[in-house]
Structure 1
Amino acid sequence: MNPQADEAGARPALVIFDCDGVLVDSEPISLACLTAGLNRIGVAIDVETVRARFAGTSMPSIMQHIAADYGVAAPDGFVEAVKAETLRAFDAELRAMAGAAEVIAALDLPTCVASSSDPVRLRHSLGLTGLLPLFEDRVFSSVEVARGKPFPDLFLHAAARMDFPPETCLVVEDSVPGVTAARAAGMRVVGFTGGGHWGHDRLGADLTAAGAEQVVSDYPALARIIADPL
């Protein structure tokens, strides 16, 4: 029997938040920096293609796909340079999602973060936007597991570290790889479409098709789902 089906309708014991595109509106910035970097090394790709193919995935996975699909191997220092450019852009532009701090602070159940971003970027993003104190040391990165999203490893790792069974967890995700990973981990998942990088009409349908039980575009709606699930 599917444990997710058993838990449908139950209030979650733990809420696991993705970071980029869920807690912070970082994806328009990071996707633009990545696209510019790829163009500089000879990859003919636009930001919409980068968004569609790579949002929600880790840099090592992205570069593997670039090498396989475009025949371009990243020069030494490329990933580090893109990460540094992205962090500088964050300093000038990054904002928390509207309502995120208020809703998370008011939750009366445990929360954590599980993200494809590396630990330096994660803590920088959460610290810059004032969200880090809401999670403290409950921030988990894909570098801590063997396989990133869409595999379930990161979410299973976060649940284990938080000491909760996977079937009692609710994940909030903005990408198909993230939703796929949460479902593979046996967790419920809500799709989030409030980020500035999602401008196309199919996102909600894509997240639903990947396994999101509901899709929301703002934090008040998310708070209602957590308080009164299906």
Structure 2
Amino acid sequence: MTSKLVIFDCDGVLVDTERMTNRTMAELLTDCGYPITGPECQKRFMGRTLEAVQEIVEQELGRKLPSDWLQQLRARDIESFKAGVAPIPGVAGVMDLLDERGIPYCVGSSGKYEKMHSTLGSAGLLPRLKDRLFSSQDCEKGKPAPDVFLLAARSMGHRPEDCAVIEDSLPGVLAARAAGMRVFAYVDDPVCDRDALKAAGAVLFERMDQLPGLLLNAS
């Protein structure tokens, strides 16, 4: 295995939450006078922090969203996760292989810790990741800035050039490349902009069972 550390994004890479959370966001934004569908929301904002989304929307609206908009959205998300969150098919097997090879891995996400604990817990992945979670909430800037990936590498004791990032969003791919890391983009979701992800420097893959081979053969 050429990488000394593998950094996973969370939503859409470890847990199947992107469509769920973007549907909720779209409903709230539409109620606030910013009509948008779940798929449109996902395509435009996937990979960004909610604070960044709020800033973009407020600039386009020319006014502020309700002061409790972020709290409403997070509360609705957490409530929806209680119904159950599925792990991305095959991702547990990837982590099993990394464990067998002695390759450490962690999470570098735009989501807050409360959300990661909720989604990863529901999906049954939290026990193997709970001490290796890194969030943009601890960074000055969220993705596409490299801060969260650099934080993860530094905290895990590895140089950026020795890390591989697993992403599914353009801001995440840009963040990984800005950090000087190799990046692999999971493009199972039809909303993914494959051309943009590839142009940004990602190696694309459609199934998690393809990822070990890519990591093994990466140069």
Q: Distance in 1 between matches of 2:96 and 2:76?
A: 31
Q: Give the C-alpha shift of residue 80 in structure 1.
A: 0.9
Q: Distance in 1 between matches of 2:162 and 2:69?
A: 40
Q: Could you tell me which runs of 5 or more consecutive residues in structure 2 were left unpaired when the two chains were aligned.
A: none
Q: Aligned pair 1:226/2:212, yes or no?
A: no
CA RMSD of aligned residues (A): 1.4
Q: Of 17, 30, 54, which aligns to 1:26?
A: 17
Q: Which residue of 2 aligns with 1:176?
A: 170
Q: Distance in 2 between matches of 1:36 and 1:141?
A: 25
Q: Could you tell me which runs of 5 or more consecutive residues in structure 1 were left unpaired when the two chains were aligned.
A: 1-9
Q: Aligned pair 1:12/2:12, yes or no?
A: no
Q: Give the C-alpha shift of residue 93 in structure 1.
A: 4.3
Amino acid at match of 2:201: G
Q: Distance in 1 between matches of 2:92 and 2:63?
A: 40
CA contact (8 A) 1:31 1:50 kept: yes
Q: Which residue of 1 aligns with 2:125?
A: 131
Q: Which residue of 2 aligns with 1:208?
A: 198
Q: Give the C-alpha shift of residue 227 in structure 1.
A: 2.3
CA contact (8 A) 1:156 1:185 kept: yes
The CA deviation string for residues 171-219 of structure 1, in whole angstroms up to 9 with x for no partner, is 000000000000000000001112xxx324x72222101110x211111
> Equivalent residues in 2 for 1:1-230 (5 A)?
11-107=2-98, 108=101, 109-194=103-188, 198-200=189-191, 203-212=193-202, 214-230=203-219
CA contact (8 A) 2:166 2:186 kept: yes
Q: Distance in 2 between matches of 1:72 and 1:95?
A: 37
Once superposed, which parts of structure 1, at least 4 consecutive aligned residues long, lie more than 4 Å away? none
Q: How many equivalent residue pairs?
A: 216
Q: Give the C-alpha shift of residue 228 in structure 1.
A: 2.5
Quick check: 123-132 or 72-81, which moved more? 72-81
Q: Give the C-alpha shift of residue 135 in structure 1.
A: 1.6
